Amino acid sequence: MAGLNCGITIALLGVLLLNAALPPLGVASEIAVPHGSGITVLIKPGTPTLPAKACYIVVFKKHVTTLSIKSGERTVFSFSCQDPENHFVVEIQKNIDCMSGPCPFGEVQLQPSPSVLPALNRTFIWDVKAHKSIGLELQFSKPRLRQIEPGESCPDGVTHSISGRIDTTMVRIGTFCSNGTVSRIKMQEGVKMALHLPWFHDRNISGFSIANRSSIKRLCIIESVFEGEGSATLMSANYPDGFPEDELMTWQFVIPGHLRASVSFLNFNNSNCEKKEERVEYYIPGSTTNPEVFKLEDKQPGNMAGNFNLSLQGCDQDAQSPGIFRLQFQVLVQHPQNESNKTYVVDLSDERAMSLTIEPKPIRLSRKFVPACYVCLETWFCNTTLTLTSGSKHKISFLCNDLTRLQMNAEKTISCTDRRYCHKKSYPLQVPSNILQLPVQLHNFSWKLLVPKDSLSLVLVPVQKLQQHTYERACNTSFRYLVASAVPGQDLYFGSFCSGGSIEQIQVKQNISVTLRTFAPSYQQDISRQGLTVSFRPYFTEEAVFTVTPDVKSKVYLRTPNWDRGLPSLASVSWNISVPRDQVACLTFLKERTGLVCQTGRAFMIIQEQRMRAEEIFSLEEVLPKPRFHHHSFWVNISNCSPVSGKQLDMLFWVLLSPRTTDVTVIIIAVVGGGALLMFALGLIICLVKKKKKKEINKGPAVGIYNGNVNTQMPMQSKKFQKRRKDNDSHVYAVIDDTMVYGHLLQDSNGSFVQPEVDTYRPFQGPTGDCPPSPPPIGFRAPTAKLTTDEPPPDIPPESESEPYTFSHPNKENVSNGNTDIPLLDGHKPAEPGE
pLDDT at position 635, please? 94
pLDDT at position 808, please? 32
In Å, how far from its chain's centre is CA 646?
A: 24
Longest dimension (CA), the chain: 195
The span from the CA of 182 to the CA of 285, in Å, is 21
The span from the CA of 607 to the CA of 595, in Å, is 20
- The amino acid at residue 320 is Q
Point out which residues pair with 191 in neighbouring strands: 128, 164
How long, in residues, is the chain? Answer: 835
Question: Residues 776, 781, 787, 793: what is their CA dihedral angle, to the nearest 10 degrees?
Answer: -80
Nearest C-alpha neighbor of 490 from the set 510, 472, 506: 510
> What phi, psi does 25 have (nearest 5°)?
-75, 145
Angle at 31 between CA 27 and CA 36, to 5 degrees: 175
Three-state SS string across 247-305, please?
CEEEEEEECCCCCEEEEEEEEEECCCEEECCCEEEEECCCCCCCCEEECCCCCCECCEE
CA-to-CA separations, 277 to 273, 321, 360, 473, in angstroms, rounded: 7, 16, 33, 62
In Å, how far from its chain's centre is CA 288?
A: 44
Q: What is the pLDDT of residues 436-449, one digit of tens each?
A: 999 999 999 999 99
Q: What's the burial of 652, exposed, middle or buried (CB within 10 Å: 0-12/13-18/19+)?
A: middle
- The amino acid at residue 15 is V
pLDDT at position 776, please? 60
The span from the CA of 306 to the CA of 259, in Å, is 8
How many other CB atoms are found less than 10 A from the CB of residue 505? 16
Angle at 601 between CA 648 and CA 755, to 5 degrees: 140
How many other CB atoms are found less than 10 A from the CB of residue 737? 10
Sort strands 544-548 and 572-577 into parallel, antiparallel or unpaired: parallel
How many other CB atoms are found less than 10 A from the CB of residue 440? 21
The span from the CA of 74 to the CA of 61, in Å, is 16
Nearest C-alpha neighbor of 540 from the set 744, 822, 772: 772
How many other CB atoms are found less than 10 A from the CB of residue 411? 16
How many other CB atoms are found less than 10 A from the CB of residue 577? 23
DSSP 733-801: -S---TT-------B-TTS-B-PPPTT------S--SSSPPPPPPTT----SS---SSSPPSSPPP--T
Sort strands 479-485 and 456-462 into parallel, antiparallel or unpaired: unpaired
CA-to-CA separations, 179 to 145, 176, 394, 725, in angstroms, rounded: 6, 9, 40, 107
pLDDT at position 687, please? 82
- The amino acid at residue 455 is S
The span from the CA of 557 to the CA of 550, in Å, is 10
The span from the CA of 225 to the CA of 637, in Å, is 71
The span from the CA of 190 to the CA of 98, in Å, is 9
pLDDT at position 393, please? 93
Angle at 273 between CA 270 and CA 274, to 5 degrees: 175
Those residues of the chain that have pLDDT short of 50 are 1-24, 663-664, 666, 700-768, 778-779, 781-835
Indicate the pTM of the whole model.
0.54
Write down the H helix ranges in 432-533: 433-436, 523-527
Contact at 8 Å (CB) between 236 and 278?
no
* Residue 157 zone, left/alpha/beta (φ > 0; ψ -120 to 50; rest): left
Q: How many CA atoms lie within 13 A of 443 on its CB side?
A: 13
Contact at 8 Å (CB) between 189 and 165?
yes
SS3 84: helix
Question: Residues 545, 551, 552, 558: what is their CA dihedral angle, to the nearest 10 degrees?
Answer: -50
- The amino acid at residue 537 is R
Contact at 8 Å (CB) between 555 and 473?
yes
> What phi, psi does 404 have (nearest 5°)?
-70, -10
Q: What's the burial of 678, exposed, middle or buried (CB within 10 Å: 0-12/13-18/19+)?
A: exposed
